[in-house]
Structure 1
Amino acid sequence: MSADSYRVDPDDPRAPPQEVWDRLTPEERAHVIDSLPFEFPLSEANPPEGDPHYEAKARAREVLGGYFSRIGRKVYLGCELPVYYPGERMFAPDVIAVMDVEPHSRMRWVVNAEGKGLDLALEVHVAGERRKDLERNVERFARLGIREYFLFDRGRLKLTGWRLAGEGRRVYQPIVPQQGFYPSEVLGLELQLEGERLRFYHGRAPLPEADEMIATLERMVGEAEAHRTEEAQLRAELERRLAQEARLRLEETHRREESERKLAEALAELERLRGGRR
């Protein structure tokens, strides 16, 4: 099999089935990957959903990226990245997570080439028809073996999660919230809605978002500046007191020396008078 014998249909781009992929040479595989579009074909394009949709998915990726970077775990996170499973139609969830892989920049996720499928998918729904997210994705993601799938219905402010029913099974079961928190075994975190936001938690403590981290840093800088000002004031007061004490000691020394001088003069005068009487 040659790369020429496997052609990517631009209207229905798909990675080759695994048995076809296995017969390709490294050069032929690279050619196929380059042929897979990283833009949305018209068949997969969805109408834009505005700022609430963009902000929710971008915030989720940013918060998770910061968290995994801080704990030193390699996790690839993508937003609307074209995903190609062998022989399957291309799809692009709002957010994807693949655990324990190099998090370098990618234009597409090709399961054949990466050697691993998605561990988690997150969709954000704001407006329009919900069947894709609530029905078709549930069936498709389970069939593909994506361990967890979460749906944040931004319009209805509702969070739903699914997880594969067991090892080797390709059927989802609902994730049951615990005191309002949806546990993610993939991320090792919990998800919950806070007002109009989807938040991630570790040990029931919310992961900080960018605006919160900026506010915290600004407060720390302000406290540090205030601390430095207070230290400078204390240092100036200490220096003033030390100078005052040194001046008082010097004055006391001068007074003592003057007293001793006068005493010596008086004793000398007394001695002189005594000598005169002899």
Structure 2
Amino acid sequence: MRPVIHVKEVHYPESDGKPMGETDEHREAMIRHIQILQEYYKGQRVYVSGDLLVYYEQGNPRKYVVPDAFVVKGITPKRRRVYKTWVERKGLDVVIETTSRKTKRKDMVEKPELYARLGVKEYFLFDPDQEYLDPPLQGYRLSEGQYAEIAPDPGGGLTSQELGLRLCVEEGILQFYRMDTGERLLTPAERAEAERQRADRRSGTSAPPRGTGEPAACMKPGGALTKASEGDAAGLAPPAPWIPRYLQAGVNLRGIIPFRKVPVRFLRFFVHLIVIFCPLGRRCGNRSRERSRFSRRSPRKWDCPLGM
């Protein structure tokens, strides 16, 4: 009988016991990079992940690395608990590390040597704090077994040949742009918010998003508050200053009266009747009469509850 050989199964842990990110900012940046690249490669045979243990030596669970974000082309984008290079028969193509105070030395010295040995074609480092890397975005491309620095373009961005994207830092955030269309890539949440804001602007139901510097829709030329000037463009006289402001907001009295040549004195008398007999007009018309250079009466001391 042949002796039975018992092969001890090697256990590959799914966690190294270290936190995902040193700070909230680093963790959010890592998650954002992963989500953007996952959305970019949706429906393709490309696996995008991050903060996952990558084992690169069979039988030795101590030989692993944990990239913040990485891309592997040509494999099924299924969920994995760990990544084993000998099982997938494919190494990593692109790695993006989010550098922090604790990881600076490892990202700059140890990992480049390891990634070059593993055949990672492009390696990027990003410093969201802009304190540990100068410039805060750096990239390297594998050439003959060694990394060569990717020269930045005039705008300070870096081109990734493997991703077909341009990477650049804008207001402390790493942005990704398509090389073919120039479109900026977004996370699913960012895309949904952008579509909602676009729909709101089309319907005119809400103001543009904060921080865009764009005026509200009602303040743009041709908006609701500029209708009072349409009568001027048609050759009509604008409303007199003594007409209460609640009537001036989009209303041209000469435009709604059939007889355009009605004397101004009659119009004035007509509006004074409204002010006297209409409670709303009596309350809100007072202050506009106070400001009028046409009114000869001393203003009555009535308060306007509407603040007009």
Structure-2-length-normalised TM-score: 0.57
Which residue is equivalent to 1:78? Answer: 49
Deviations 1:114-167 (A, max 9, x none): 0101001111012225210001111110011111111112232601111111xx
1:247-258 pair list within 5 angstroms: none
Is 2:157 the partner of 1:175?
A: no
**Corresponding letter in the other structure for 1:200:** F
Is 2:186 the partner of 1:208?
A: yes
Q: 2:21, 2:27 within 8 Å by CA — same for their partners in 1?
A: no
1: CA distance between counterparts of 2:167 and 2:202? 34
Question: CA 1:140 to 1:6, structure 2 compared with 1: closer, same or farther past 3 Å?
Answer: farther
2: CA distance between counterparts of 1:74 and 1:107? 18
Question: CA 1:127 to 1:103, structure 2 compared with 1: closer, same or farther past 3 Å?
Answer: same
Q: 1:81, 1:109 within 8 Å by CA — same for their partners in 2?
A: yes
1: CA distance between counterparts of 2:183 and 2:5? 51
Describe the SS at the equivalent of 1:206.
Answer: coil
**Corresponding letter in the other structure for 2:119:** G
Higher alpha-carbon Rg: 1
Which residue is equivalent to 2:26? Answer: 53
Q: 1:127, 1:155 within 8 Å by CA — same for their partners in 2?
A: no
Which stretch shows the higher mean deviation, 127-136 or 185-194? 127-136
2: CA distance between counterparts of 1:190 and 1:4? 52
2: CA distance between counterparts of 1:182 and 1:220? 30
Q: 1:84, 1:109 within 8 Å by CA — same for their partners in 2?
A: yes
Deviations 1:90-110 (A, max 9, x none): 111101110121111000110
Q: CA RMSD in A?
A: 2.4
2: CA distance between counterparts of 1:191 and 1:3? 53
1: CA distance between counterparts of 2:123 and 2:137? 11
Once the two structures are TM-superposed, the CA of residue 36 in structure 1 deviates from its matched residue by 1.1
Once the two structures are TM-superposed, the CA of residue 40 in structure 1 deviates from its matched residue by 0.7
Q: Give the unaligned 5+ runs of structure 2.
A: 206-308
Q: 1:164, 1:171 within 8 Å by CA — same for their partners in 2?
A: yes
Question: CA 1:6 to 1:86, structure 2 compared with 1: closer, same or farther past 3 Å?
Answer: farther
Which residue is equivalent to 1:218? Answer: 196
Once the two structures are TM-superposed, the CA of residue 7 in structure 1 deviates from its matched residue by 5.1
Deviations 1:3-31 (A, max 9, x none): 944553xxxxxxxxxxxxxxxxxxxxxxx
Structure-1-length-normalised TM-score: 0.63
**Corresponding letter in the other structure for 2:178:** H
Once the two structures are TM-superposed, the CA of residue 224 in structure 1 deviates from its matched residue by 5.9
2: CA distance between counterparts of 1:184 and 1:58? 20
Give the one of 188, 202, 222 matched to 2:164: 188
**Corresponding letter in the other structure for 2:151:** V
Deviations 1:50-73 (A, max 9, x none): 11111111001111111222xx42
2: CA distance between counterparts of 1:121 and 1:175? 14
2: CA distance between counterparts of 1:105 and 1:154? 28
Question: CA 1:52 to 1:3, structure 2 compared with 1: closer, same or farther past 3 Å?
Answer: farther
Question: CA 1:3 to 1:144, structure 2 compared with 1: closer, same or farther past 3 Å?
Answer: farther
Once the two structures are TM-superposed, the CA of residue 184 in structure 1 deviates from its matched residue by 0.8
Is 2:137 the partner of 1:159?
A: yes
Q: Which has the higher contact order (CA 8 A, sep 6+)?
A: 1
1: CA distance between counterparts of 2:56 and 2:47? 17
Deviations 1:166-190 (A, max 9, x none): xxx3211111111212111111111
Query: How many residues get paired?
Result: 192
Q: 1:52, 1:126 within 8 Å by CA — same for their partners in 2?
A: no
1: CA distance between counterparts of 2:141 and 2:71? 14
Describe the SS at the equivalent of 1:205.
Answer: coil
Give the one of 15, 38, 45 matched to 1:65: 38
Describe the SS at the equivalent of 1:161.
Answer: strand
Is 2:173 the partner of 1:197?
A: yes
2: CA distance between counterparts of 1:125 and 1:214? 29
